Amino acid sequence: MDEFLKEWYGVLAFVLFDLAALILIISFTYRWFFKRIFDFLVSLVCIVATSPILLWTYARARKAKKRGEIERIFNSEPFIGKKGKTVFLRRFNGNFGKCAALARLFDLFSGRVSVIGYEPFTEAECEALTEIEFDRHIAKPGLINPYYTNGGSKEDKKAMLKTDEKYAWNFSFFGDIKIFFTWLLKKIRGQN
């Protein structure tokens, strides 16, 4: 064994075996442990990468608040989250376009939402759901919805709810990686 590990192919085989074991452990415990770590790391990278935009938007919101144009810098909107609990998701107050939603990165960082999950609904929207459709709430809401990533339209609510429910019961490490990179490629290509 010592001779095998002294050769380059022995070290490579050892590293590949350890990597395969790590991926196996992550995939088996993803639902309970590593999904939160994945969310935390993605949020941290995104906050650092967009920090100039976040600071610029925050400074503009502060100026708008001082001028009396807005009451608060952040607007907290109530949504139904995991297990039917109400969560408050943040947006920048004011007319900041797509930058207003960047405050959701802090919700991701704090664990209120996940990178990938169902679209969060308000309490009024959840009242219209059947008990079976409400099953989507066994997981966290997300910033990236699997249904829209696969080309679904906002008009087809039934199909979205079915996809959300299926995702909530069957999400996995490899499934989330696939959804994330599909979404990323579509964004790079300029597709909605």
Angle at 47 between CA 144 and CA 45, to 5 degrees: 80
* pLDDT at site 192: 64
pLDDT in tens, 17-54: 999 999 999 888 888 889 999 999 999 999 999 999 99
Neighbours of 70 (CB within 10 A): 18
pTM: 0.80
pLDDT at residue number 27: 87
Number of other residues whose CB lies within 10 A of the CB of residue 168: 18
Cβ–Cβ under 8 Å, residues 61 and 93: yes
Mean pLDDT of 151-173: 86
Mean pLDDT taken over the chain = 88
Residue 148 has pLDDT above 90, yes or no: no
Q: What is the pLDDT of residues 78-129, one digit of tens each?
A: 999 998 899 999 999 888 878 888 899 999 999 999 999 998 888 888 888 8
Q: What pLDDT score does 66 carry?
A: 92
